[in-house]
Amino acid sequence: MKTYTLKTADIVHNWWVVDAADQPLGRLASRIAQVLRGKHKPTFTPYVNGGDAVIVINAEKVKLTGRKIEQKRYFRHTGYMGHERFTPVQNVLNKHPERVIEKAVWGMLPKTTLSRQHVKQMLKVYAGPTHPHAAQQPAPLVLVTAAAKSRRSNRSCAGTRSVVGSSASRGCI
């Protein structure tokens, strides 16, 4: 069987909206990067822009775990020797909260021209709860939460040995 390659005529770009309120930044950025590249589709081809557009709302309410809000810093260099500039993430969240999500997603994409195209054209981040893309009819993108993962893993004993005994004391090992 031949490997399927996506042709530019067959590309369908969907629009998704994600609510970033109380979502961990890394998990949110990871899922957005997957959707931007198109890895969630069975027609994924690495050298074709087959991903979907993502709209992120409530970027100002994104959650940073641990002490990242105090310790995380963004680095940039002016080009002169010794001119390193560090910006605390707290300052960036206060002034431009959308940049925190954009930088996190950018860090999870390969550094190619195709990925730059993904971030600049297909990722729209807004600090508040509204966005101007209602005409595209975006569908809500559901992110898997920790509570849903624990419920899913406790559902059955798939892949484990079952304790065989009385009917009341059956369990998984």
pLDDT digit string, tens, across residues 113-127: 888 888 889 999 999
> In this structure, what CATH number is given to the domain that contains residue 56?
3.90.1180.10
CB neighbours (10 Å) of residue 57?
20
| Domain-located, residue 129 | yes
The domain containing residue 46 runs over which residues?
8-64+97-147
Q: Does the structure show a pLDDT above 90 at 173?
A: no
On average, the pLDDT of the chain sits at 88
| Domain-located, residue 142 | yes
For residue 172, give the DSSP letter.
Answer: B
| Domain-located, residue 72 | no
Residue 153 or 19, more confident:
19
Task: Say what the pLDDT of residue 172 is.
Answer: 55
| Domain-located, residue 88 | no
| Domain-located, residue 73 | no
| Domain-located, residue 71 | no
Task: Say what the pLDDT of residue 127 is.
Answer: 96
| Domain-located, residue 19 | yes
90 exposure class (CB count in 10 Å sphere: 0-12, 13-18, 19+): middle
Task: Say what the pLDDT of residue 150 is.
Answer: 64
| Domain-located, residue 103 | yes
The total of structural domains in the chain comes to 1
DSSP string, 7-61: -GGG----EEEEE-TT-BHHHHHHHHHHHHHTTTSTT--TTS----EEEEE-GGG
Task: Say what the pTM is.
Answer: 0.81
Task: Say what the pLDDT of residue 98 is.
Answer: 96
